[in-house]
Amino acid sequence: MKTALLSRTEIEKALTMDEVIRAVEEVYRAHGNNLAIIPPKITLDLSPMEIEAWTIAMPAYVHPSRASGIKWVGGYLNNPKKGLDFVLAMIILQEPETGVPLAVMEGAYITNIRTGAAAGVCAKHFAHPDSHVLAVIGAAKQGKASLRAMSSLFHLKEARIYDISPEASARCAQEIESGAGVELVSVSQPRDAVRGADIVVTATTGDEAIVLNEWLKPGAVCVSLGSCQEFDSESVMKADKVIVDNWEQCTRRGELARLVSTGEFTREMVYAEIGEVVAGSKPGRTSPTEKIVVVPIGIGTLDIAVAQLAYQKLKDRCRHFEFF
């Protein structure tokens, strides 16, 4: 038995955003039908040792596609200063019944593209279908991936991009412009991006409120992708619906974790998990004026399903090694 070794370059060439969006949607549907397994994430936090880094183990299984494996992913705050990406990851894909490792894969690209696709699927099911204005807060890889996904799913007229680094925001607009088919505007303040936007996506490394509830229009859908709080508490507490990908995961990281820790937000305040809506057991948007907050903090089943998609496309023409 040989194990495939897949690089970022190979995976990037193999995957398209449209097929990743379809794979992500099918994973959510599997969760809604109780056909997927994700144990709680295990976090290795190095901050007590004065190392600004954390790494998470994310095992997962998706029954419809029989995708099984684990992602080892981390955020390393000083990496950009060293010319490295903030997020680095590795995925091991295995045969579920035997444990035989099918592939060892670079995981950061899969993390970024599946996160963008997840934001797109959330907007597909919770945003107004005639949404035309998008705000993206955070112009790094996951913000760019979200923009590509939204451009694929909606007839956008305008996408506004804000980043704490004006250079990053402008660069993002320039990089995406040729293929997105939408007017891209780099703005200098987050409120300039958010006001009047139908869809607001936050994809930052920040740990404070960047988006204020008073900026959000009636009927807006807010998708928080970051590991910490990005919307102010009022945005969540006054939302008509709050949606999560997995409640247990969202109590530990992401938009809701701080509100959960203080007791302000409880499980009973969650309208649904994304999978319930995708599977059809609960309706999504039921009013054009509903303000909806969606928190897809990230579930390993998405990574493993997308990793299997890449593996199936590349397994006959990539490098292999003898694992045993």
How far are the Cα atoms of 7, 96, 148, 290 from residue 109, in angstroms, in the given order?
Answer: 10, 23, 14, 33
Q: Which residues contact 177 (CB under 8 A, 6 or more apart)?
A: 184
Dihedral pair phi/psi, residue 260, rounded to 5°: -70, -40
Do β-strands 67-76 and 53-62 pair in parallel, antiparallel, or remain unpaired?
antiparallel
Do β-strands 67-76 and 183-186 pair in parallel, antiparallel, or remain unpaired?
unpaired
* Catalytic annotation, pick one of 71, 124, 141, 291: 71
Alpha carbons 156 and 171: distance in angstroms, whole number? 20
Q: Which residues contact 233 (CB under 8 A, 6 or more apart)?
A: 209, 259, 264
Spacing of C-alpha 19 from chain mean position: 15
Alpha carbons 113 and 149: distance in angstroms, whole number? 9
140-164 as b/e: b if 16+ CB within 10 A: bbbbbbbbbbbbbbbebeebbbbbe
Alpha carbons 119 and 311: distance in angstroms, whole number? 23
Element (H, E) at 73: strand 67-76
Q: Decide: 53 and 46 in contact? Cβ < 8 Å.
A: yes
Q: Decide: 18 and 111 in contact? Cβ < 8 Å.
A: no
Residue 2 is a catalytic residue: no
List the catalytic residues.
71
